[in-house]
Structure 1
Amino acid sequence: MIYPGFYFDRTMILLLPAIIIAFWAQSKVSGTYKKYRTVRTMNGYTGENVARMMLDAAGLYDVPVVEIRGELTDHYDPTSRVVRLSSDIYHGASIASAGIAAHEVGHAIQHKEAYKPLVLRTSIATAVNFSSQASIIIFMIGLLFSIPLLTNIGIIFFTVAVIYQLITLPVEFNASRRALNILESRNILYGNEVSGAKSVLSAAAMTYVAAALMSISQLVRLIAISNRNND
């Protein structure tokens, strides 16, 4: 997500609450992940094992589970139909590994069932990539040359990115809910292990909430700057 800086002025205060929440959310997810990445599950399944079992149970035999580099780089690619897990999650037999792997499979199941928010998010992804990059450039040009039309176009483009962030929230929450239900119902995790996985996924979800709040705050700031310059 783009966070345009411009010069410091009073509109920066609009971003402070979202910035504080973002720092808290990042700290929360980091701390929760570190806690549960060291807690081994009773059954000893790795993240790859969990993902494979869940995919097969959902009839998604043709969706591969592959290892990728980085930490917490895990994701489901709806274009290639691949579940990608970071090394720690792929090989790890921890509560964190099971929860995160299950969450990504949750997205694969959403894709199979044509879950509407996921379908919508995927369909606008290309437009969002363009609009988020172009919005601030267009907005800045409009400010520099006092062209209200361009500042308004920049705001509209940035609004598309905000909408994308908002659509992401139900997608992520639903994937986590699916993951936890399957982990518990299929006895992949037991008792307190399910609670631990829920803590990991809840902390991760807060980063998406923080990103949405930051985007909304930034949009409000752009509108405030535009209105001030047009006065």
Structure 2
Amino acid sequence: MGIYVIVILFMGLSMWVSWRLKSKFKKYSEIPLQSGYTGREIAEMMLADNGIHDVKVISVAGRLTDHYNPADKTVNLSEYVYEARSAAAAAVAAHECGHAVQHARAYSFLKFRSAMVPALSIASRYMQWIILIGIFMLQTTPVPLAIGVALFGLTTIFSFVTLPVEFDASKRALAWISSNNIVTQQELAMSKDALKWAAMTYVVAALGSLATLLYYVSLLMGRRD
């Protein structure tokens, strides 16, 4: 029963971390940035400062929908970040540009994660169905579940490879906004806190994926008893 409890705990922890992130983002979004820069301006300055001139900064709908798209070389900032002038906006805008810098510098973990995407897209499309079939057929044959576990293992590896990518992007972001006087020391502390909670969502997701993988492995191994 231990593995079931762990999976449930991670589900609860994930919800709590998500709530904390939204709470922190809301709090730091309401504090005006003394430099007066918008998220868009910060992103454009950071890209230019790193010699990146082929990446566009665009606005996308939603909240916390910010991301960097290496396929079309765009830094996508949510409407709550694009024109905002806050510590939260500065942190998010610079973080997404951190990914653009990684792309331009051929950061190894980003290259590895990008190489996994095609296989992962196929795996995620069929994985849950294969696992479900495997569980129903477990007493007959372990093959379908074993295949499902292997596919889920791929998604778990992807989750862990994502961690250094996210941590490195935040490190680049904080270093740049600090050294270029985009934020004050107090605002820098807020930016660090916001990015810390954003990173925690990835940590919990990776550990939750590992716990779920172990659960499926326990089902597969239990057939041998």
Would you call these one fold, judging by a TM-score over 0.5? yes
Which residue does 2:149 correspond to in 1?
Answer: 155
Could you list the structure 1 runs, at least 4 aligned residues long, displaced by more than 6 angstroms after superposition.
none
The match for 1:47 is: 39
Quote the residue 1:121 is aligned against: 113
% identity of equivalent residues: 37
Instruction: Specify the code of the residue in structure 2 equivalent to 1:68.
Output: V
Cα shift readout 1:202-228 (whole Å, capped 9, x = no counterpart) = 010000001001100100110112222
Contact 1:63-1:81 within 8 A present in 2 as well: yes
Code of the aligned partner of 1:152 = A
SS at match of 1:168: helix
User: C-alpha distance in 1, partners of 2:121/2:195?
Assistant: 26
Amino acid at match of 2:10: A
CA shift, 1:135, in A, is 2.0
Per-residue Cα deviation, 1:124-181 (whole angstroms, up to 9, x for no partner): 1121122123222112222222321111111001000000000000000000000000
Q: Which of 30, 50, 53 does residue 22 from structure 2 map onto?
A: 30
Q: TM-score, normalised by structure 1?
A: 0.93
Residue 76 (structure 1) aligned to one of 59, 68, 74: 68
For structure 2, list consecutive stretches of 5 or more residues without a partner in the other structure: none
Question: In structure 1, how many angstroms separate the alpha carbons of the residues matched to 2:198 and 2:27?
Answer: 13
Unaligned runs of 5+ in 1: 1-8
Instruction: Provide the aligned length of Structure 1 versus Structure 2.
Output: 223
Q: Does the 8 Å CA contact 1:151/1:226 hold for their aligned counterparts?
A: yes
* RMSD of aligned alpha carbons: 1.3
User: Which residue does the alignment assign to 2:96?
Assistant: 104
TM-fit CA distance, 1:11: 4.7
Residues 34-92 of structure 1, C-alpha deviation per residue, up to 9 Å, x if partnerless? 11001111111000000000001111112110000000100000111110000110010
Helix, strand or coil at the partner of 1:84: strand
Q: Is the 8 A contact 1:46 1:90 kept in 2?
A: yes
- Contact 1:11–1:225 (CA<8 Å) still a contact in 2? no
Residue of structure 2 in register with 1:93 after alignment? 85
